[in-house]
A = this chain, B = another copy of it.
Amino acid sequence: MDDMRNLVYEIAGRLYDLDADVYRTLGSGLGRVFNSSREETIRHLTQVMKEHRTSHYLRSSLALIGNMARTIPEKAERSRVMTEYNEIWQLIQKLPEHFGAVDILDKSLAGLNQTLAQNPLANRFGPGQHLIVCIGRTYGSAGTDIGFALADSLKINYYDTEIFTEVLERLEAKEDGIQDHASFAHGQNLNQNPQAVEKGLGIRGRIRQFSRYHGLPKTQAVFFNQTALICEMAQREDFVIMGRCADVILTNHQIPHVSIYINAPFETRIHRIMRQDNLDYKSAKKFLQKIDRRHRTYYEFFTSRKWGDVVNYDLCINSASYGIEGSVQLIQRLLPPRD
């Protein structure tokens, strides 16, 4: 108790003296932050430190003195003053109630966040840990191109909606004994042999326990099957996966991953798909609105979360500010070091 009172008193006194010192060092033309007497200032500052709600005044005073101190032209003088500044800041951090003392960290989120440099729950991450990058994105934001280029440069597997749907349909076809059921989401056949996908992806082992959830509507059955497949893949390999609410699925199953959302301004996206899909402005806009609506409905139905809301991801990127190549580089800089 007395220790704390002494600490508060020491901080107030040294802060007052630092202000005076900066004032002296910068010459008479420059003013100071505290103009009352030493006693009065200390009384005021100790009061501020006692109350949570006013503790930001302490930060503001400290920042103002620091901003001024950094303008001291003479290097040795500046270094001397900044050393004292840093020591006071160290002392302030010892206060249980100092600004920033209450962290915002949510351990359940942070523990699953593979881009957190020094993960406080690092013990959860065994050597068999796989890197899983989940990318949510809007149509036209080049999110899919970024995901593919990222997987390529990391030399890990890539799953977009089409590949994923293909794999699932083949699993279902196999279950039903249908061999030639393969078709892509958009209705085009890639001429794939079902066995190629199953065995190539190494999921032979789990086919038997694969259920079609006959009691459920089709969409929900597919979602449940997706969930099972994503969780199994996560135990086996590194990969980049586009959409499929993969981030929510992995979070629900307590599997660490990277959760990223990619978007770009609506107008920029319109102009991109005008070029890419060879559409006029009006058609492109209408098409985009339709796809966005479908995306949103899907995500919100299965996750009960707001689609594209910053707080549903670890990180959101405006791809118009980075481009495809720049976004890949940005994400790579965020990833944990790999063997």
Chain A residues engaging chain B, CB cutoff 8 angstroms:
22-23, 26, 29-36, 41, 44, 52-54, 56-57, 59-61, 63-64, 66-68, 70-71, 82, 89, 99-106, 109-110, 113, 115-118, 120, 140-142, 144-145, 148-149, 151-152, 155-160, 162-163, 166, 184, 186, 188, 190-202, 259, 261, 263-266, 268-269, 272, 275-278, 308, 310-326, 329-330, 333-334
Contact = CB atoms under 8 A, between A and B. Distances in A.
A33 B190 contact: yes
Nearest to A193: B31
A28 to B, nearest CB: 10
A63 B148 contact: yes
B44 A310 contact: no
B110 A324 contact: no
Given A149-B100, A265-B311, A326-B116, A66 B158 contact: yes
B145 A196 contact: no
Contacts of A322: 105, 110, 113, 116, 314
A334 B315 CA distance: 13
Contact of A60 (B56, B115, B190, B268): B190
A54 B311 contact: no
Contacts of A141: 104
A326 B56 CA distance: 21
Given A320-B109, A321-B314, A201 B67 contact: yes
Nearest to A188: B57
Given A63-B160, A320-B105, A195 B310 contact: no
B64 A163 contact: yes
A33 B190 CA distance: 7
Contacts of A201: 67-68, 71
A71 B261 CA distance: 29
Nearest to A141: B104
A100 B324 contact: yes
Contacts of A162: 56-57, 60
A60 B277 CA distance: 17
Contacts of A195: 29-31
B196 A33 contact: yes
A141 B311 CA distance: 10
A31 B188 contact: no
Contacts of A320: 104-106, 109-110, 311
Contacts of A308: 310
Contacts of A261: 310
B30 A199 contact: yes
A264 B311 contact: yes
A135 to B, nearest CB: 13
B315 A196 contact: no
Name the residue among A68, A188, A308, A320 with the largest chain B CB count within 10 angstroms: A320
A35 B199 contact: no
Nearest to A326: B116
A36 B100 CA distance: 64
